[in-house]
Amino acid sequence: MALTTIHRLASVASTQIGDGSLIQEFAIVRSGATIGMNSTIGPRSVIESCVDVGESVDVGAGAVLGKAGPVRNGSSGRASIGPKSSIGANAVIYQSVVIGDGVSVGDNCVVAAGITLGPGCLVDPLTLVTKDVPPGRRFGGNPGRLLGTVAEEPQAFFAHELAVVETGNVGAGTRIWAFAHVLPGATIGRDANICDHVFIENDVTIGDRVTVKSGVNIWDGIVIEDDVFLGPDMVFTNDRFPRSKQPFTLLRTTVKRGATIGANATVLPGLTIGQGAMVAAGSVVTKDVPANTLVMGNPAVVVRHLDR
């Protein structure tokens, strides 16, 4: 079982953090909060004491979960985030909110106190949610309104109206959010989550269930295998000696299944990030990372081995 990784600049008072979770720099987790296994709490996010986060949940940078607000009669005041849900960057989730399994809440959303978001629903970025959202529905706008049923989207995948998706090679269940741009030659697998302001070049392969957080650019020659997490603003490169408008030798990088690359980390070209490995936030990776290891620093070095 993978170990929990807590960045040295995070503030974690809770003792209820599941195995395999990643708490990134400047994140705050209050005493009384619970975090399920294999969840990622992004930089500068705040998890208040009244919040229960399920397994395999992604919380974006700057998000606030459990902000104080009016509590409905009979409610405990606790907020719950269902397994495999995604909370976008700078989103604000008030207390007493119930978020079902597999929900996607876009960047900069506000979910008012006491609201329930049904399993599998999609909330567009910049949405103000002041009423319950039924399961499997898409909700957006300010004030928010129902925009349709997720299952009835004409595509097998969801692409926000402000995303530019030029490839037809996108798997069912994948979600591509506002201001992302995917070039024609790219391939993206099933059930991936491509957050706002992501750019994906042509010679790129992304596997199933991959999470790409905001601000990531994936250049030609990059292969991302299944179940990988790419943190906000991490950087790939593909040219060891870059010059403007000159020929270059493309060096290919592979991120193996289940690996995690933390926020603001940089990966130099031509490397392999091993299966289940974890690159700590802000690290600079200059050589291959062995499987199931945690690397940290500039240059990144192995600091410990992780359980599978």
Instruction: For Cα atoms 2, 6, 10, give the angle at the middle one, nearest 5 degrees.
Output: 165
Q: In this structure, are 161 and 148 located in the same domain? A: no
**Cα–Cα nearest to 6, from 305, 211, 278:** 278
Residues 173 and 131 in one domain: no
Q: What is the pTM of this model?
A: 0.63
Tokens of residue 114, six digits: 């006491």
Q: Are residues 132 and 222 in the same domain?
A: no
User: What are 222-234's pLDDT values in tens digits?
Assistant: 999 999 999 999 9
Residues 159 and 193 in one domain: yes
Same structural domain for residues 112 and 175?
Answer: no
Residue 308 belongs to a domain: no
Q: What is the pLDDT of residues 210-220, one digit of tens each?
A: 999 999 999 99
- Return the number of other C-beta atoms located less than 10 Å from residue 172's C-beta: 11
Length of the chain, in residues: 308
What pLDDT does 151 receive?
62
CA distance 273 to 134: 40
- What gap in Å lies between CA 243 and CA 286, rounded to an integer? 20
Which CATH number goes with the domain that contains 215?
2.160.10.10
Q: Are residues 94 and 23 in the same domain?
A: yes
pLDDT at 149 over 90: no
Question: Which residue range forms the structural domain that includes residue 19?
Answer: 5-152
What value does the mean pLDDT take over residues 103-120? Answer: 93
Average pLDDT over the chain, rounded to an integer: 91
The answer to whether residues 118 and 195 belong to one domain is: no
On whether both 124 and 165 belong to a single domain, the answer is: no
pLDDT computed for residue 38 by the predictor: 87
Q: How do residues 69-96 score in pLDDT, each as one tens digit?
A: 766 555 668 999 999 999 999 999 999 9
CA–CA separation, 273 vs 164, rounded Å?
Answer: 29
